[in-house]
Amino acid sequence: MKISEILRLAIPISIQSLVFSCLGYIDIFMVSKLGEANVAAIGIAAKVTWLNITLLISLTATLSIFLSNYVGSGNVKSQTSIIQISLLFLLTVSTIQSIIQALFSYHVSSIFTDNLEVSLLCSTYLKYTSPLYLFSSLSLIIDTINRCHKKPSISTKITILEVIIAVFLNWVMIYGNLSFPEMGIIGAALSTTIARIIRTIVGSYILVKIYTYKYFISTIYLNSFKPLVVDYFSKFLPILLTNIIWSLGIATYQFLIGKLGVDYIALHSVISSIESAFLAISWGVATSSGILVARRLGYGYSIAELDRYLKKQKLSVYLYSLVTSVTFFIVLYYFSIYYNVRYDFTYLLFFPLIFLLKCISVYYLTILQNCGDTKNNLKLNFICQWLVSIPISTVLIIHLNCTYISILAMLTVEELLKVVFLHVRLKNLSWIDDVKLARGC
């Protein structure tokens, strides 16, 4: 295994993920001067948006499984067909999502908070960002194609452009600069939406210029659609259910935190945004590793060769996770001092520990998912979240009136269980025998 091969993929993907994760933090940071209610509203809206994006991510994650394999085997016909299938599903789903969010934004926001002001602000933000899903679906497909062809730097540059546009438009629209009216949270929503639209247009133009011969030809391979659709959904459904289970878990935690008050909603929103920025780097490393392993399955590597390839990654991942967690702790510490954020010091100890475990579990989960071992991930997430951490957290908060620290403790238990079970799964190599990917279809 060449480290440079991983880094060539991981660095652009990590930068893109880091920059992309900053988009949510940008809105929170830019409206922070408008008060806690605005911060809490965007924090809740971010969770709602993520729940919807999860479905789109599941579709593109499935695309990545097949496309990486087909690129490895050099099968252009199957590459074209799987992209066309994904595009059809993504556009259909994202259009429905946009319509539903535009019509029922208040009903959705009121689920996550009892505070009327926060609910109304969140509803406004959701309504103005409802077109986001349609353009996000196209952007996700573009990013997946670039990564599978080892050209993630293209998407990275486009993402940086999106962030620059979002920051500028936020500055203009939220506070009424350059003779624009002061729009507050509406300005934040419009800025995010417009920036995503521009990103999609630029990304689509570049994609068509690069891959015209392969993907945007007039011929549609109808004969290969039916078996591919069956295979596609056999991988997609476990990924979707896994992401739904995980996302509903996040929503449940958000609901429980909402019971603790606006202060804790705002605190958790800010900390989660910072954590997401750090976790984006881990996700980049995991994604690049998963793509490379999946391509090797397409090449026809043996189990022994894949085992040797994976063993060389583990120590590096553990070391990276430890260093990043310490850095995360330092950033949180100085963030609390600089912004005069007052919270129990015990929280500061839990956040890096949870983050460390997440780094490792994300690596394991992504490797297994990208190679097609999707059903095991589904079972594991369901057990750790919905049979252990969430039921206990609900009892502690709703019935025993425990504090925020109890939620952090259960998040730690959840991630620890995942790491232990995933480590055993990856070490035993039994997952490789379960992976049944089509080669050269």
Express each pLDDT in 369-400 by its tens digit.
877 778 888 999 999 999 999 999 999 988 88
Strands (E) in 363-411, as ranges, are none
> Among candidates 129, 128, 206, 126, which has minimal Cα distance to 161?
206
> Among candidates 351, 295, 290, 301, which has minimal Cα distance to 324?
351
Residue 402 located in a structural domain: yes
pLDDT score, position 319: 83
| Rounded CA separation 138/232 (Å) | 18
Identify the helix (H) or strand (E) that includes residue 45.
Answer: helix 36-73
Q: How confident is the model at residue 439 (pLDDT cuts 50, 70, 90)?
A: very low
The mean of the pLDDT values for the chain is 81
Residue 233 located in a structural domain: yes
- Kindly report which listed range (62-76, 242-256, 422-436) carries the lowest average pLDDT score: 422-436
Q: How confident is the model at residue 213 (pLDDT cuts 50, 70, 90)?
A: very low
Cβ neighbors of 234 (< 8 A, separation 6 or more) are none
Residue 382 located in a structural domain: yes
Per the CB < 8 A criterion, the answer to whether 123 and 113 are in contact is no
pLDDT score, position 73: 73
Residue 25 located in a structural domain: yes
pLDDT score, position 430: 65
Six-digit token pair at 223? 């004969």
Residue 438 located in a structural domain: no
Per the CB < 8 A criterion, the answer to whether 188 and 30 are in contact is yes
Residue 414 located in a structural domain: yes
Better pLDDT: 133 or 258: 133
| Rounded CA separation 158/135 (Å) | 14
Residue 7 located in a structural domain: yes
Cβ neighbors of 306 (< 8 A, separation 6 or more) are 293, 296, 297, 432
Count of domains forming the chain: 1
Q: Which structural domain, as residue segments, surrounds residue 330?
A: 3-433
Residue 312 located in a structural domain: yes
pTM over 0.85: no
| Rounded CA separation 64/148 (Å) | 7
Highest mean pLDDT among 94-98, 104-108, 298-302: 94-98
